Every structure is written in structure tokens, then in C-alpha cells.
Structure 1
């Protein structure tokens, strides 16, 4: 059950990150990367690791976007 919850949180974070790819909205990733990391933490409590890995990939994508934009753009 926690694996499904983790995957759902990761999916929500990924969907919310779509507008953050647009220039000048990249700072939204400061909100969504911690959300994805929360999902990864919940996924750690599960015996299966699919949701956790998905959340870590989503968080890495958001962190990469923050890095490329200098943390602001």
C-alpha cells in the first residue's frame, strides 16, 4: 500500500513539474522536489521499491532543472 502511495505522490509531483519546465517558472521546483523526496521516503517504508525509485527519478529531474536554471529561472 505504501508503494502505491509513493508512486501516486511521485506522479502528482511529476505532473506539477510540467509547468516548471517553462522558463521563469523553474523556481516552482523548490516546492515539487521536496514533495517527490517525501514520496521517496514513504517508498522506503514499503517492501517494494518501485514507487521509491520513481520518486527519486522525479526528484532528480527537478533538481537537474534547478541546476540548469541556476536555482531561480
Structure 2
């Protein structure tokens, strides 16, 4: 759950213009770690939070041209 919260905080900053690059460095790695650890645990809230954050970060990168 901690990885998901940290990734969500980074996502808020990464949504600002000119800070989209933070999604690659600050948001996606903790979100993926949160997905892995959430899948290994019984807590589905952590998995859901990390999945939502990862999808929103990928959508931001897609709209900003960061994913080709």
C-alpha cells in the first residue's frame, strides 16, 4: 500500500505541465512494485491502487507523447 501511495503522490506532480517525465522515474517503478507486492499479499486494495496509478501514469504519458 505504501508504494501505491508514494506513486499516487508522484502522479499528482507528474500531471503538471513539463513534469510528465516524472511518470517514468517516480511513478511507474513504485506502481509496478506495488502491483507485484499487492498480488503476493491478500490485500486487494493495494493492488487496485497501484493498478489505477499505473494506468493513469501510462495514460498521461500516452497523451503527452512519452509513449510511442
Give the unaligned 5+ runs of structure 2.
Answer: none
Structure 1: how far apart are the matches of 2:38 and 2:55?
16
Q: What TM-score does the superposition give when structure 2 sets the normalisation length?
A: 0.87
Name the structure, 1 or 2, with higher relative contact order (CA <8 Å, separation 6+): 1
Question: Structure 1 residue 29 and structure 2 residue 23: aligned?
Answer: yes
Which protein shows a greater Rg? 1
Give the unaligned 5+ runs of structure 1.
Answer: 1-6
Q: What TM-score does the superposition give when structure 1 sets the normalisation length?
A: 0.82
* Equivalent residue number for residue 36 of structure 2: 41
Structure 2: how far apart are the matches of 1:50 and 1:17?
18
Structure 1: how far apart are the matches of 2:43 and 2:17?
36
Q: Quote the offset at 1:28 in angstroms.
A: 0.7
Paired residues in the alignment total: 66
